[in-house]
Amino acid sequence: MISHATILLDVIFFFGIREHAMGAIVNGFGYDGLFRASCATFAVFSDYMRPAIRLAALAKLPVFYIWTHDSVGVGEDGPTHQPVEILSALRCIPNLDVIRPADPEETAGSFVAACERSNGPTALMLTRQKVPNLSEIGINDRRTGVIAGGYIARKETCPLELIILASGSELQHALTAANELGKGVRVVSMPCFERFDRQMSAYREKILPSSCLKRIAIEAGVTALWHRYVGIEGKIIGIDRFGLSAPGDTVMKELGIVPESIIQAANEF
């Protein structure tokens, strides 16, 4: 007799180019409750799924979405496939956790967060381009930091002068810029606004102390939602326009998503 057994079963469906139907069917699995269902496509095509996503959030279904090609780093596919506004649009859906991890370890933490959540859907926003393994940050810090929504990726070693915030593929640029700017610079990884906002106020104050008003955020997308973290005196490096067709690295450089933009913004305070 076997007691307390756990059966792991993978069931894979190939939906084809049917994003709305895919989201609706995943909701069905979520309502049934037998499986922890997920689905995947390019981030820009989440717009076709939006009614199903909104319903999942409204009904508190514990499903999750894997959306790749999350920025202008898509490259040669051009503006139609570069989701500059999609990330912020998804963040505006109540009860949807949107996680944008920076490297493999943050991605591992994102999957844990998605699987553990029982009262609503989670979106994992993944890059197309290669990103470095940010080994200067402890593995446990990266994994548990994602679950908290935001964490200190680089701590200042003298009195705090500046905080740089970043998510996803831009965290590497924040770290590079901080190393150039000096010892008084803190880097905060913010992979999930929603999870960070649910933390106790003491934790949020520890990560983003109100005494430091010099703040810069960088993300390869529209800038509006970052104002809640940088305040009226902060600066945001982002993309408030549609992209262009070129290799991903070229597009990023052309649109200013590089460490040099952070350094310039810091020197303008």
Catalytically annotated residues: 19
Using CA atoms, how far residue 30 sits from 27, 46, 64, 194, in Å, is 5, 18, 10, 21
Per DSSP, what are the bridge partners of residue 38?
Answer: 64
Amino acid at 16: G
- 76: number of Cβ within 10 Å: 11
Task: Residue 171: name the closest of 237, 235, 243, 90 by CA.
Answer: 237
The number of beta carbons lying within 10 Å of the beta carbon of residue 40 is 13
- What residue ranges in the chain does DSSP mark as E strands? 38-42, 64-68, 97-99, 122-125, 151-154, 162-166, 185-189, 215-218, 235-237
* Encoded tokens for 157: 């070693």
Q: Are strands 215-218 and 162-166 parallel, antiparallel or unpaired?
A: parallel
Strand, helix or coil for residue 235 = strand
Cα distance between residue 144 and residue 138, in whole Å? 10
**Rounded Cα distance, 123 and 114, in Å:** 8
63, 34 in Cβ contact below 8 A? no
Name the DSSP letter for residue 69: -
* Both structure tokens of 193: 């606004």
φ, ψ for residue 237, nearest 5 deg: -105, 115
